[in-house]
Amino acid sequence: MAPAPAAAAKPAAQKPKRQHSAPKKTQPQPNATQAQGAVQQPAKAADTKNKRGKRTATPQKKTPVRIIPLGGLHEIGKNMTVIECGNDMFIVDCGLAFPDEEMLGVDLVIPDFSYVEKNKEKLRGIVLTHGHEDHIGGLPFLLKSVNAPVYSSRLTLGLVEGKLKEHGLLGKVQLNVVQPRDTIKLGCMAVEFIHVNHSIPDALAVAIHTPAGIIVMTGDFKIDSTPIEGDIIDLARFGELGNRGVLALLMDSTNAAKPGMTMSERKVGESFSNLFQRAQDKRIIIASFASNIHRIQQIVDYAVKYKRKVAVSGRSMINVVAKATELGYLKIPEGILVEIEGINRYRPDQLVIITTGSQGEPMSALTRMAMSDHRKVTVNPNDFIIISASPIPGNEKLVNRVINELLKLGAEVIYEKMYEVHVSGHACQEELKMILGLVKPKFFIPAHGEYLHLKKNADLAVAMGVDRKNILITEIGKVIELDGVDMKVIGTVPAGRVMVDGLGVGDVGSIVLRDRKHLAEDGLIIVVTAIDGQTGEIVAGPDVVSRGFVYVREAEDMMAQTRKIAKKAVETCMANNTHEWGNIKNKIKDDVGDYLWQVTKRTPMILPVIQEI
């Protein structure tokens, strides 16, 4: 049943019935079967005799559960995992990734949903750990082909609503708000939600109670003992689960190579206080991730303290600020927020602008400011600009380009390496070891990261006492089966990248990308010829058009020779009684391509066009 549209202070969602409250020592937690109303007695181990005649317990295999990662391994982003048991399955997260420099013209990259679509009758629900794009961005594309209830925290579902509205799905999907320590039933499994700290509020880990045992997935997390809002991570629950016995742990690997502990978000606030004082009579522009609501709250708080108004720039920043304010996660005093169109009414020392573009994205608000292409903001020497984020690997050049352009305009620019204006939302080594020590998993599967991150996380698990043979660094598409005794890979399912280009989903593949790269690097030569259909004689042409290869006026001799070679290729085909257009085109491509390579050592894309008259 579809829910009603969002109310003013609450997403269009229904709150599932709480299965249990905070557990007490005298009350055992329900396992997966109990969550369905059955009473399950603890499995008894079989007794066997060893060589000396003494009885030893042999673990009994249980109904197997399968873990199938469809994204988030050997890559940053696109996180998605399928959990399957019997005829039931559900999904944890459904994210996207942003294209790299090789994906020319591609807007977004999402997981391959074909396995889920093929088994959609088994799908019992979709669980989201938090509201970052790499965990929820692919959801609207999946929900166009499957219909399943979605479970997550209030803020996460509020952000999901905006995406569903853009895709025309709002009101067609059942959204269910959950709280930390709630448990929901999904077929023969039960999912328990655990509060964690991250760079966005309402982040959750999940403990999956299955017939084979408990599987813990941390999602993205860190341990922040002084969070901006809400409680610290629920370490007590991780410890309780560890004492009960955890079959497998899937843990965030993003910062596994970094020693120590991640700094608290409050450290950024201390830096902001100093920088606001240093800015004095200048206008302050701060670029940050739109989803970092805690960061935005601190900016607002210091703007109030130093008597400045706040304006917001960038579509995603405007949307998140509006939704977070509506749901009560962002508290902005009356009269502080002003429209970006009205910033010229205020002196520079009366204004703070919060903007997108901390990663140097070409179309972002900060990049347009740096290129003097922003309609409302003109950067000048009266600007004090803070880039409150660290570059995602691969974005360093883009960020440096923006910084250079801002400096050329006379602005003072502060970025992460100069001051502590950004802290990570991911756990470093000591925090990861703490979770490993509390959960004490039998099996360990590093998640969320490139291979170097996964390998480092695996090494941490070994250092914490996990048997190396019980650790699996896997790949997307691999089917991992756990039966309470063993962990093994039993097969593969379709998995990979699906590229979104404009309104097209999946219609851009490796061949299209190869052609785009070819065109971008070497340009295009078009050879147009008109041929008499009866006699095979050349009626007009060949004419040669160059785009992105050479400047024709400076290469007239080469173009003239190219025409002669193309003409000779057509005449040779006709003399050999070759009238198949495909064969004639290939002959033109081969001969012209060989000549241009000899002259320029370049291989433009050659496109023959034959017109029959």
DSSP string, 291-322: T-HHHHHHHHHHHHHTT-EEEEESHHHHHHHH
Rounded to whole angstroms, how far apart are CA atoms 12 and 6?
4
* 494 touches 577 (CB < 8 A): no
Rounded to whole angstroms, how far apart are CA atoms 340 and 313?
7
Between the alpha carbon of residue 452 and those of residues 257, 391, 428, 473, the distances in Å are 8, 18, 14, 11
Instruction: Reply yes or no on whether 590 is catalytic.
Output: no
Residue 172: what residue type?
K
Q: Which residues contact 131 (CB under 8 A, 6 or more apart)?
A: 152, 155, 156, 158, 159, 160, 200, 202, 291
What stretches of 44-118 adopt beta strand conformation (E)? Answer: 46-49, 55-58, 65-71, 80-85, 88-94, 108-111
From the number of C-beta atoms within 10 Å of its C-beta (0-12, 13-18, 19+), residue 459 rates as middle
DSSP 285: E
**Catalytic member of 374, 426, 448, 453:** 426
DSSP string, 114-133: HHHHHTGGGEEEEE-S---H
Question: Largest Cα–Cα distance of the chain, in whole Å?
Answer: 99
State yes or no: cis peptide before 23, omega within 30 of 0.
no
How many CB atoms lie under 10 A from the CB of residue 319? 16
**Catalytic member of 224, 252, 301, 483:** 252
Instruction: Reply yes or no on whether 20 is catalytic.
Output: no
Partners of 309 in the β-ladder: 351
Task: Tell me the three state secondary structure of residue 11.
Answer: coil
Task: Tell me the three state secondary structure of residue 313.
Answer: strand
How many CB atoms lie under 10 A from the CB of residue 95? 23
Q: Which strand (E) or helix (H) includes residue 43?
A: none
* 113 touches 494 (CB < 8 A): no
Task: Tell me the three state secondary structure of residue 106.
Answer: coil
Residue 402: what residue type?
V
Rounded to whole angstroms, how far apart are CA atoms 545 and 292?
50
Rounded to whole angstroms, how far apart are CA atoms 180 and 206?
9
Q: Which residues are marked as active site?
A: 252, 426
